[in-house]
Amino acid sequence: MKLLHLSLFALTLAAPNVYALSSDSEQPVYIDSDSQQLDMKSNQVTFLGDVNLKQGSININADKIIVTRNAVNGEIEEIQGFGKPATFSQLTDDGKTLYGEADDLHYQLVADRLIMTKNAMLSQDGSIIRGSKITYQIGSQKLVADSGENKRVSTVLQPTEVNK
């Protein structure tokens, strides 16, 4: 198994000073779906059918989203998205869009981390990283892409001129 450790530097060689919108984590979470199921015992709400989630500039679209809340304080701990693919997008402070997709998304709000598994892809300004698993630290803009067994991580970096 090979690991490729990158900071957003690799994604944004052509776009320096890119940071996720710092206010996103302070925004409310809005969710639209065809249906929802609440399990009060496990503090989980399952949203089904063309689910759209928005928190600030963060957007997640999936066939199914499970939201888990902390039993003590009621804060959202994790959002799991499932689809073929489920998608993630977020604006950066300089107005660029970071886009990701995978069959499974695990957005851990407390840790400010997005874990994308099964056919994972993350892109910005035409630069793309693909792997079996991508772990993305949203606030610090750092990621680890894992290729899985007998596979490789694939990266395409766009030159500066393409992004101007």
Q: Give per-residue pLDDT as tens, 44-79.
A: 999 999 999 998 898 999 999 999 999 999 889 999
- pLDDT at residue 2 in the model: 41
Inform me whether the pLDDT recorded for 3 exceeds 70.
no
Mean pLDDT of 133-148: 87
Confidence band, pLDDT 50/70/90 cuts, at residue 164: low
Which two structure tokens, joined as six digits, stand for 30?
């809005």
Tell me the per-residue pLDDT of 12-42, one tens digit each, with 9 for 90 and over: 333 333 445 667 777 888 999 999 999 999 9
Q: Do residues 55 and 24 lie in contact, with contact meaning Cβ atoms separated by under 8 Å?
A: yes
CATH 2.60.450.10 fits 27-156, yes or no: yes
Which one, of 37, 39, 40, 41, lies nearest residue 51 by Cα?
37
Q: What is the pTM of this model?
A: 0.80
